Amino acid sequence: MLLRFNFRVYPTSGQQDALARAFGCARVVFNDGLRARQQAREAGLAYVTDAELSRQVTAAKLTPERAWLGEVSSVVLQQALADLNTAYRNFFTSMSGKRKGRKVAAPRFRSRKDNRQAIRFTANARFKVLDNGRLRLPKIGDVQVRWSRTLPAVPTSVTVIRDAAGRYFASFVVQSTDVPLPETDSEVGIDLGLTHFAVMSDGMKVTAPKFLRRAARKLKRLQQDLSRKTKGSNRRKKAVVKVARAHARVADTRRDWQHKLSTAIIRDNQAVYVEDLCVSGLGRTRLAKSVHDAGWTQFTTMLEYKAARYGRTFARVDRFFPSTRMCSDCGRITDKMTLNVRTWICPCGSHHDRDVNAARNIRAAGRADLNDRRAQIRPASVPAPRSETVTHRELVPSGM
């Protein structure tokens, strides 16, 4: 399995300038390649291949207009073309119906004003983690890294990211073997909600921390301060960074909390079942702010890849399964049940807590689905972490 480890890095002012040049060069190469393909399509010419784009980059370095492309590692430029190729592949497979999920738009031009900037170094770039803990990047220098753990193997690539808050991160890809946890007889169904973030089939309830709501007052003040700044001014740029840092703090806190909860669930249960919620649809309702604050998709992704890594079973139950309205004792399904109904009594005499009953039904449905297929469910595709914009089949962030 490929794992991704993210660490905070602290480049010097000179290294930040070098990274800014690298970000800019990668962006120019990406945009030049996109423009070449768009112009070829408009002219009715053949699709410009990756090899042709690579030759154009090499030729551009010899011209006065693009001579500065030689100031950065050639691997960075080639990886920018690889990103363009991935964007086109995702677009084509989405249009043809081979790619599941929401439709992917055509590649767009990158801007220097984009909140996120990133470059990638592969093994061909000969980056190296030094004995003193610094990260040596070609034509950048030795960058200080805050290590929170030791890498399990030599990384195959590293992506350097600058986020909207102005922070820098190094994201390492490492080949690692699965480490199954000791087997246990416990299985759990999880009903995700807003008042209680997660309700387990064993009756345990996890209160929703509501990180965004708790930070709302500070965010409101920072947004008001930003709205008073003149567009294009240095003070406005500083205010934008302050808002971005406040949002980043909320996201980081939420992610850390979800990592700890998902780790505990995977460690204590042999099988985990959740409902396949339509988060995008719920995000368009009056509960949108609370839904986005909950971060259900991120949490279920953590459960999914940790189950794959540690030899656990993970399954999603169909979103149209009536988990809430079905009695977990007799199987009777009630006609309607509004959100304000938190407890109810089945005609069979069973008293039910709405969420606990749903979690028990999710566990039962997940078990039945596994028995029907007679195979352990493993994720077919695991989304990459926030620091990456693409999806890798077996590339998962490390969080356990």
Which residues participate in catalysis according to the annotation?
191, 275, 355
Which residues 6+ apart lie within 8 Å of 22 measured at CB?
Answer: 72, 73, 76, 119, 139, 140, 160
Please, are residues 190 and 273 in contact by the beta-carbon 8 Å criterion?
yes
Tell me the C-alpha distance between 236 and 113, whole Å: 14
Q: Do 156 and 173 meet the contact criterion of CB atoms below 8 Å apart?
A: yes
Q: Which helix (H) or strand (E) holds 139?
A: none
**What tokens were used for 339?**
């959100």
Residues 6 or more apart whose Cβ sits within 8 Å of residue 344: 334, 337, 352, 354
Q: What are phi and psi of 304, to 5 degrees?
A: -65, -50
Q: Furthest-apart CA pair in the chain: how many Å?
A: 83
The C-alpha atoms of residue 72 and residue 318 are separated, in whole angstroms, by: 49
Name the pairing type of β-strands 271-275 and 313-317: parallel
Identify the H or E element spanning 98: none
